Structure 1
């Protein structure tokens, strides 16, 4: 009886460890890199370069995850983290000496189409993750404020991994933070000036009227007042700065 009880207890311990490793602890190595080298959305690429082996280890742990074993929100958060972590890796492969993510590509292939992102199911590109998984699978336009393209005009890189348990609140916060930055959204000259993300991915927001409604939903009182007072719902898209989002 004692031996059987001990075996059962050990099994419960192993099960609890497995559950823990499938949760936030899974992202601990990546979390440590973000907390040490991402501040206010800007990345300390020099410091991160010195810890590239740690990033490689974190990427290997991500690649070992079976996304199908995760809940919907955990899976959604997982793929966001995959996209952002592999974007960091892409920059580090060319750092120093790179001033824009576009320089990580070539005349024949954009950096987003390079097949180098390792998943349990195989190796894919950043475009495959964003346009083949994140957008069609989860159909949540807030994802555009969570994935980061290592550029100044991109929504800022979060200083911690996304987690399924807090994903909805985190996506709301990311959208609100980006929209209420006066550099990204302001009303002037009879038009609402917005990020070009809303042009490129307008269909994800429901078209131009959907874009207006989405921004109004997250606008702070001052911006919301200007939008409500506007005679016409005219959008103007801001230039996009592809400069590296380094510190």
Structure 2
């Protein structure tokens, strides 16, 4: 009888947590505000991982609230709320993966997130968290759920895998209410970062992200044309630029940890 009561109590607690989930993701915004430093005129950011590791309770509590959300609750949300939830989950559990292994970075055993994989698997293939009722991997969140369910190429400027060459990690959570503005700002910011994207005398140079996920942009040149001002760095000259005749090359990816030391 006590076992039945305990199981019912736990089920009720998880259901109540999911039903009361804060879609404004305020708790995650607080964590990001406290531990993410934005620099280079707002184009880049770095994470104070040692500080986050020492003060991880708020992040752990937020991630537990994500894990408590049941599939039915998730399905009841708007398209924008679902996508915001998934982006935050990817970024939040990536932070968890880094601080869970902070000793490896501090000892020099690890230099990047790629060093956290196993002999036969990458860190993105690790099932180390629960989401929507099952144990998941970061690859599942990105490739199966986000890319599988949403036709939104701007997510590639929002998902941050803890590397220097990634887009900047926003110092705020993504929300359904602000998602359109946030995604657009992320793409413009990413394309305006001259260490990652731009135009020079050789043509257009882009982050490898645009190479890896080229199929998601449904005609890369046409897609970039809408962001010509961000790429050119000129409020006027980029508008009439003929992207059809510019060579495109992809720059090397810096996988070093996006911490304060690697700014």
- Scaled to the shorter chain, the TM-score interval is 0.7 to 0.9
Q: Contact 1:195 / 1:237 at 8 angstroms: preserved in 2?
A: yes
Q: Contact 1:187 / 1:223 at 8 angstroms: preserved in 2?
A: no
Aligned CA distance change for structure 1 residues 134 and 222 (closer, same or farther; 3 Å): same
Aligned to 1:135, what secondary structure does the other structure show?
A: helix
> Is 1:243 equivalent to 2:256 in the alignment?
yes
- The number of residue pairs the alignment matches comes to 228
Residue in structure 2 matched with residue 75 of structure 1 by the alignment: 82
Residue in structure 2 matched with residue 63 of structure 1 by the alignment: 67
Aligned CA distance change for structure 1 residues 217 and 171 (closer, same or farther; 3 Å): farther
Aligned CA distance change for structure 1 residues 201 and 230 (closer, same or farther; 3 Å): closer
Query: What's the CA shift string for 1:24-55, capped at 9, x where partnerless?
Result: 1xx23222211100111210001100122332
Aligned CA distance change for structure 1 residues 92 and 207 (closer, same or farther; 3 Å): same
Q: Contact 2:205 / 2:251 at 8 angstroms: preserved in 1?
A: yes
Q: CA deviation at 1:120?
A: 3.0
Q: TM-score, normalised by structure 2?
A: 0.80
Q: Which stretches in structure 2 are left out of the alignment for 5+ residues?
A: 1-17, 39-44, 106-110
Aligned to 2:129, what secondary structure does the other structure show?
A: strand
Aligned to 1:42, what secondary structure does the other structure show?
A: strand
Aligned ranges for residues 23-34 of structure 1 at < 5 Å? 23-24=23-24, 27-34=25-32
Q: Contact 2:199 / 2:231 at 8 angstroms: preserved in 1?
A: no
Residue in structure 1 matched with residue 241 of structure 2 by the alignment: 228
Residue in structure 1 matched with residue 53 of structure 2 by the alignment: 49
Q: TM-score, normalised by structure 1?
A: 0.85
Query: What's the CA shift string for 1:88-112, capped at 9, x where partnerless?
Result: 0010111033220001112211000
Aligned to 1:244, what secondary structure does the other structure show?
A: coil
Q: Give 4+ residue runs of structure 1 displaced > 6 Å after superposition.
A: none
Aligned to 2:101, what secondary structure does the other structure show?
A: coil
The root-mean-square deviation of aligned C-alpha atoms, in Å, is 2.2
Deviating more after overlay: 220-229 vs 184-193: 220-229
Q: Which stretches in structure 1 are left out of the alignment for 5+ residues?
A: 1-17
Residue in structure 2 matched with residue 38 of structure 1 by the alignment: 36
> Is 1:188 equivalent to 2:200 in the alignment?
yes
Q: Contact 1:46 / 1:96 at 8 angstroms: preserved in 2?
A: no
> Is 1:88 equivalent to 2:95 in the alignment?
yes
User: 1:164 & 1:199 partners in 2: Cα distance?
Assistant: 28
User: 2:236 & 2:193 partners in 1: Cα distance?
Assistant: 13
Aligned to 2:241, what secondary structure does the other structure show?
A: helix
